[in-house]
Every structure is written in structure tokens, then in C-alpha cells.
Amino acid sequence: MSKAIAWDEAEVRGPKTAYILTPENCGKMLRRAKRLLIIVGGNILDDEYTKVGMVNIIERIANKLGATLAISPGVFRAFQNYNGTKYMVNVESVVERLLDAHWMGFDGGGKYDFILFVGGLYPFQSMMLSSLKHFAPTLRTISIERYYHPNATFSLENLSFEKWREGLEALLKALEA
Amino acid sequence: MATRIKIKELESGGLKIKGLELTVGRVTEFDEWAEPMGPTPYPTLMDLRAWDLKLLERYPPFYSPLSDFCEFCTYGKCDLTAGKRGACGIDMAGHMGKWVLLQTVMGAAAHTTHAHHLLNFLIKQYGADHPIDLGSEVEIEAPITRLITGIRPKKLSDLLDVVNYLEGQITHLLSATATGQEQNYLDYESKALHAGMLDILALEVADIAQISALGFPKGDAETPFIEVGMGVVERNKPVILCIGHNVAPGSEVINYLDESGLYGKVEVAGVCCTASDLARLSKGAKIVGPISRQLRFIRMGIADVVIVDQECVRADVIEEAMRVGSRVIATSDQLVGGLPNYTNVDDDIVVSKLVSGEELAVVIQDPVKVGRVAVKAAQLIYPLRLNQKGYNRNEIVSKASACTLCLSCTKNCPIGINVGLAVNMAKRGDQSLLLEVFDECLGCARCDASCPEDIPVLSVIDAASEDKIKNERFKIRAGRGPIKDTEIRKVGRPIVMGEIPGVIAFAGCSNYPGGNIAVAKMADEFAKRNYIVVAAGCAALDIARYKDENGQTLYEKYPGAFDAGCIVNLGPCVSNAHAVGAVVKIASLFARRNLRGNFEEIADYILNRIGAVAIAWGAQHQKAMSIATGANRFGIPVILGPQGVKYRRAYLGRSEDYDRWLVYNAKDGRMVYVGPTPEHLLCVVETMEEAMVTAAKLVMRPNDTPKGRMIKLSNYISLHRQFYGTFPEDLHLFVRDENDLPITMKDEILTLIKQKGWKPTETPDPTLLSRMIFGGR
């Protein structure tokens, strides 16, 4: 028996809350994305992310899936060697554009169908996911944070640090298989 | 509050009327004030709606629901997720608009009540005819009041009219939130903007009244230095601690100490805005710190008597104070705390009951009596409580031994500090992480409440940090209040022309991700770059709680004038009015625009010409939301730190949307593209670096001269490169012609922006108001 409880225990939502995926299934789910946008939050250089090499993980996901990176300005430098498609953008501003059914993406090439969130302060990220859940309900969102995010469409469950580190490896393996 | 009569067509007897429109304004006392009355004195909910809708068209609300439900009536709760409507018919956007309006009304109501209480007290003490006097160099004594109400207050009782207006409007706004009233989210937002504007008016009323009556500084740049920090309160004297925002009871403590020859024998300290006000009244008053220090200082037991007034008083303060043997006096009808009312009981009886412990906490709603009782009680209680002052460090830290590393405290930390790990390390004998946590901690104690082992986590953090607390001593200039007209005349032109790159106002509470150091570093950076930096409220206190490499606080490092490269402490929260007032005065003194009842024109002027931006890095309270929304209606953009996302609403522009950035050229009525200046009206950023670069961008205005735009662009580019390592990608949107380009980077930038398809644009005489075309003729 298990209950899906948000990392911030007061973040009680419902009835539409995130489906919990295993890291492997996260990888498989991401492979379904036709046009993936990865929103990188301003805390991506915090200790826990650094310890798992999250910047590298994001770059590998983006490379594999041809994803676009929307990077919070304060941490853009961390991706200076990444040669794929990347934009420096305030996270609220990109989420606001995602609510617009007519927005065709940064490059005008079409709507993003899958949005991956990582690297934000938990409550901030939760609120961005909430905006999309309420005002862009057909858009699929996924969180690969260590903690359960109820406002996403898909999320990992709350994991110990070691389980998360191993899970991210499993996610990459599933993705790159 | 004007009354309008419209008669389309009337024929009666020999009288024929067609198309008559008559406006009867509020009847005011004869005033020699020559300035003509503008179109909207005492504006009601509808009078400025057209202006609001212009703002909201360019900066539509962006909502982030904090809950999926509406719980306002017995139909519910209703799930409003993903387009569903509630049983009353409301959708999530409408519900969010209602929440925003409620929050802003709460803020405006709190400040209005504060102003009213203070005004009643000051009139009682100093007389209804006591003059409004902000010093010889402040002729425009009440720019916000003049602008909004159309009156020029000369005496305290004049401000009662303003308070009555505020209370009437706030009731109407609150009414609109009831089920079955307003339903459109944009109209909720218009009303929220109205509430915010009223809040700023309330701030001004409160502050000019107390400055005039209590002898606070009147715009002096070199106000005295005051000690701030948890280590500044002397423990070998009786201590009275004042918490809240209304200075009346605390001021009477100081008056009584003076009168009875006890000044200096009793410590008077404060937390939050009451502390800032006491420091304006007396150099000897100590400031413990902002709201993040409130519970921590109470728990240390140093205060013998705690006086609470109104606003920002923690809901557990009375209980916590009594737990350490401090006696509490509640002084405002806004916070009675379930305590017995001793207002009409003889002083000696009250003192005796407090000293004996028969009553640990009482209500006294007479500030003068509070002054007497608090001093007498503190002197008698002090020797009885000597063993209750300060932490028993070892005993408290040893409570960490119960930690099971469940991380419940970490999960419940509002800013995600890994408190659990720090406590668990302390259990194993290593307190080093607790000392780091101390620096970032908000002092909210949600960790205590969440601990299944009942560890008093906040006390463990503080007890381990005892040495840091004892050495927490900083200096801040006492709040100076208004900006002088002479200063405005000096800087008005360079600000409007853009030669001073901008006015950056730091406001808000202490809900910081990562401690107060960010707000101080931002203030330092902007002052170094010759911006005018002003601060008020907890943000002003937090700027002081940082020393540079030379051991100086920023208030010691920079002058306190309203000028380029200075840092001004305006005062407590209510002094935020002077930041807005300063930009209003620029429109009046520099541009010669009429203020009287002329809100829309002045807000249009500010939005298009004055590069002022506010940063509320740690905004937490509804009042901060309300002030920010008010600033927005005045045309001032506001940047919030990441916790500000929980206000649930931003006003975001879209830089690439050409049509949003068209304005009238007042010279000929043509629509002209001016670029996204300013791009947002209210936005949340994630990092300190992003806040700084965003502020440097948001100070750009359509009216900037080429030299001014060049200076603003230089700072924007320089900060962008410093923090992000690149040139801004959106530079082409802010360059109107080659004269705007910083000379040293001209060729490089030209190449970059031409790659983006840049073409020169013109610089109009910008306005959003069609009636201002041809100067309003």
C-alpha cells in the first residue's frame, strides 16, 4: 500500500493529480514526446542536482530527443557548452506562452506536446505546473525531481537520494536503449 | 466622490434640455490652492477602470492556482480544475481574480485601519488642528493624497476625510468578492488595482500624520545611525519589546521614560515596523530586526514586557512570550488575543497583577496607559526573571538527540532548507550545519510543528548559534520619511531623461530563499552603478544586516540622499508611500503636470517616462501584495522573489507581441511602436541574478533620451554579461536608433541586432491616453 503525498505535505491537490511513474517508465514516456520542451529551473546548480550531474543528464535527454531547453537565466551559464537548441528565459514567461494555444514555440516550428520540469524551487515549480494543469490541460507535463509533484501529469514518487540517483540512470538507459 | 447627472433629452414647459451632463464634485472647504481639479477626485470603483483595462490588455494576468478548489460557499467545495466551473458558475480565472482581490483588500484594510487608529490617537494627543508639516523643503506634503483625492491636507483632521473615503471604498471592494457579485477576472483585477492604490494612499496618510505629530525626521539624508540586530539589546536592564506596526504605544513608553527620568534605564526595542518607527522617534531605541527575528527573540526570553500592536504579529507570540515568563500587553482592537481587558482598570492594579503573574497578558487600549504600565511592570518583573533570559545552550541542543532523520522538518521548511540533516548532524556532535541554517532560516518554526519527536527545532538552531546572535550588531540610518522637493528638482530631469539609470525600490518582507544577503547584495550592486536605491519595511532592515569586506553596512557605505549612488532608508512599511510619492512628485515638479485628482494622467506619465522599479524579494504578507498591486496601477513594475509565486498572479507582457507596444505619439496622435518598455508589470524571478538583470531591463521607458537609453542599455548589457555571460538576446527590442548604443560596444551590438532584423524606430512623446494627444487640447 502506498499513498502519493507531495514533498511539501501541505501541497494537497485533487482530484487530478500526477500519475506516479518509475524512472524507467519516465524514460519510455519521454520517448513518446514529439516536441519536448525541458524547463530548467533556477536551482539546478544546488547541491543535490550537482551530485547527480543533472546538467549532464538534461543535456543527454535533450540530445537524445532533440528537445529544446528553456533555461532560467540565473543558471544559463551551466549550459554554455551545450550546442543543442537552448533559450534563456524567465520560467514564468515561458509557462505563460505555453498557455496560449496559438504559440508555436521559440522557433515557430509548432507547439510543444510534452514539458519536462527540473531544477526549480519546489513550491515555485509546483505553481508553474499548476498553471499548466489548469489552463493548458491538454499539455502533458512530467517531473523528474526527487520529490512527487502532484500538479504534473507524470511524476516520480518521493525517493531517497540514492534511489533517485539510480533512477535517473535507469531513466537514461530506458531513453537511450 | 463625484455625483454625475446625465439628461439625454428633456422638454418641460418652455425648457428644453438636450445632452446635458453635469458632474457635482465633493464639497470641500475653500482652499487657495490654484491647481485645477482633475477628472477623478476620490475615484470610485469604476472611475479608473478604463486605465486598468489598458494595463491589463498589455499585461494580462497570469494565474498559478495554489488550490484546485473553491471553498467560499456551501455549494462547495467545488473542483475548478482544467476548465470546470463551480456550482455558482465561477471558473478558475474568476476564482483567482477573486483571491487576488481579497488579498489586496486585506492589505489595504490593514493599512487603512492602522492609519485610522494612529490618526485618532494623534488627534487626541496633539489636536485636530495640528498642522501637516513635513519640513520647509517639502512643499508637496502629500503627493498621493493630492493625486487621488484632490485635497491638500493641512491639518490632522483633514486626513480623517481621506480615511473615511478609504473605508467606504474598501467596503465596496470586499462586497464585490461575495458570491453572486463580480464574476469577470479582469474586473476583479481592476478592483484589485483599486485596492492597491487605496493601500498606498493609506500608507501616506499614516506616515505623514506620524511624521508631523511625533517629530520624526522630515526628509533628512543624514539621519542618525541606529543599532539593529539580536545582539544589540542590553540584557542587564529591564527590556520592553514592541512588535507590530503602530508606534503609538511604543512612543508613549518612550514619553513616559522621559517624563519620569528613567530614559536609558529601561531598554526599548522593537521588531518589524514598530521598531523602525521607534528608531525615528528616539536614537536610544533598538531594532531587533525584521519579522524573521520575532519568534526567535521572544523565545530567548530577554523581553520582560512585550507590547503587541497590529499587523505582522505572529499568531503564537502571546503564547510563546508567556511560556518564557514575559508579560504581554495587547494594544489594538485588531489583535486582542483572547485576553482580559484592563483598559479601564487602575494602573497599580494592572501592574500588580502582571508582576505577581496573576495575569500574564492583558489588553490595554490606551497608548498612554500602556506607556506607564509597561515601564512600571518591566522594572518590577526584571529582577524576578533573570534566570529566564537567554538559552541554556547545552540543554536545548541536546534535544536534537531525539532526531530520527525523518526529514519532516525539511519537507515543511517553506524555503526547502535541509533542517533535518542539520539537526541530525548535531545529534552526532556536529553543529556546523545548524550555524549555516541559522543564516538562511525564516524563523517561522514550521519545523517545530512538524517534528514527530517534539524537538523545538528553531530553538535548537538558535541555541547552537548563540555566539552569532550575541554578535549580531549592525547599523542602519533611521527612516528619513519623505523625499525633499529640492532633491526631486535635482534628479527629476536626469531620471526622466534616463541619465540616472533608474530608481530601484526594495520593499516587502523576509520570506527569502537563501537568507537576507541577496537583498543587500542587490542594493549594493545598484548603488555602485549609480541607480537611486530606496528601501522600506523589513527589506530596509535586511539591507542593514550585512557588512561588506570593510565591515561596513550599506547605510554606512553609501549616503542617504535621494540621488544617484545612494541608499535611502525611507522607514517602515508605511514609508513605501514616499517611494511612490517621489515619482509622483517628479511628474509634478519636473514635468509640471497637475496632480490634483488627476490619477490616470500621472500614472500614464510614470509608466511611459520614469524608470522606477520595485523589488520585493521576500514578499510574504497580503500587504506586500497590495502595495505591489498599487504600485502597478501607478505604472511602476514590481519584481517578486520565487516565493512571490504564491500570490498566484503576475502581470506579464510579451516582448514579441508588436501590437502591445504601440503608444500614441502625443504630438500628432499617430500610433508608434516603442518596444517592450517596460516588459512586465509584475513578475516572479528565481534568482538574485535574474532579479538584477530584470530590474535593469524594466527601468527602460519609451521616453528615454538617446543618452539615457544608452546608459540604461549599458547597465543591462553589463549585468547580463556579468551574471549570464552573454549579450542579451532581446537587445534589438530596446535599441531605437544607433544613438542609443553604448559607444564602446556600438559595432559589436549593431552586428548582433542586425542579425535579428533590427530596424530603427522613432521616439515619440508617449502616452496610452488618447485624450493626451496634442497635450490634451
The complex's ipTM?
A: 0.97
B693 touching chain A per CB within 8 A: yes
Question: Does the distance separating the beta carbons of A128 and B80 come in below 8 Å?
Answer: no
Q: Which residues of chain A are within 8 Å of residue B66 when distances are taken between CB atoms?
A: 127, 130
Q: What is the pLDDT of residue B11?
A: 72
Which candidate from B65, B724, B725 shows the least CB-CB separation from A130?
B65
Q: Which residues of chain A are within 8 Å of residue B652 when distances are taken between CB atoms?
A: 92-93, 96
Question: Does the distance separating the beta carbons of A137 and B689 come in below 8 Å?
Answer: no
Q: What is the pLDDT of residue B519?
A: 97
pLDDT of B547 strictly over 90: yes
Give me the residues of B, 702-731, that contact A with CB < 8 A. Answer: 723-726, 729
The answer to which of B27-41, B284-298, B397-411, B590-604 has the lowest mean pLDDT is B27-41
Q: Cα-flanking dihedrals φ and ψ of residue B662, to 5°? A: -95, 135
Check if the beta carbon of residue B710 is closer than 8 Å to that of residue B742: yes
Q: Which residues of chain A are within 8 Å of residue B63 when distances are taken between CB atoms?
A: 131, 134-135
Q: What is the pLDDT of residue B308?
A: 97
pLDDT of B316 strictly over 80: yes
* CA dihedral of residues B720, B724, B725, B728 (deg, nearest 10): -40
pLDDT digits (tens, 9 = 90+) for B467-513: 999 999 999 999 999 999 999 999 998 998 888 999 999 999 999 98
* Close Cβ partners of A124 (under 8 Å, ≥ 6 residues apart): A41, A91, B642, B643, B645, B684, B686
**Residue B445's closest CA among B327, B297, B616, B623?**
B297
Q: Which residues of chain B are within 8 Å of residue A76 when distances are taken between CB atoms?
A: 724-726
3-state secondary structure of B681: coil
Residue B750: CB atoms within 10 A of its CB come to 14
Arithmetic mean of pLDDT over chain B: 95
Question: Does the distance separating the beta carbons of A123 and B686 come in below 8 Å?
Answer: no
3-state secondary structure of A137: coil
**Number of residues in chain A:** 177
Q: What is the pLDDT of residue B34?
A: 86
B657 touching chain A per CB within 8 A: no
Q: What is the pLDDT of residue B25?
A: 52
Pairing of strands B671-673, B69-70: unpaired
pLDDT digits (tens, 9 = 90+) for B333-360: 999 999 999 999 999 999 999 999 999 9
Which candidate from B411, B650, B690 shows the least CB-CB separation from A72?
B690
Question: Does the distance separating the beta carbons of B65 and A131 come in below 8 Å?
Answer: yes
pLDDT above 90 as % of chain B: 92
**Number of residues in chain B:** 777
Which candidate from A8, A43, A127 shows the least CB-CB separation from B411?
A8
* B24 — pLDDT class (breaks 50, 70, 90): low
**Residue B674's closest CA among B763, B773, B768, B749?**
B763
Which candidate from B68, B685, B688 shows the least CB-CB separation from A90?
B685
* Close Cβ partners of B724 (under 8 Å, ≥ 6 residues apart): A73, A74, A76, A77, A88, B689, B693
Which candidate from A76, A91, A93 shows the least CB-CB separation from B724?
A76
Mutate to test the interface with A, among B63, B419, B645, B721 (most CBs of A within 10 A): B645
Q: What is the pLDDT of residue B1?
A: 46
Question: Does the distance separating the beta carbons of A15 and B724 come in below 8 Å?
Answer: no
> Which residues of chain A, if any, have pLDDT below 50?
1
pLDDT above 70 as % of chain B: 97
Residue B698: CB atoms within 10 A of its CB come to 28
In which residue are the cell numbers 505553481 written?
Answer: A127
C-alpha distances in angstroms, B571 versus B211, B219, B442, B455, B639? Answer: 11, 11, 22, 37, 20
The answer to which of B147-151, B299-303, B432-436, B773-777 has the lowest mean pLDDT is B773-777
Q: Which residues of chain A are within 8 Å of residue B619 when distances are taken between CB atoms?
A: none
Q: What is the pLDDT of residue B777?
A: 55
Q: Please tell me which residue of chain A has the smallest CA distance to B724.
A: A77
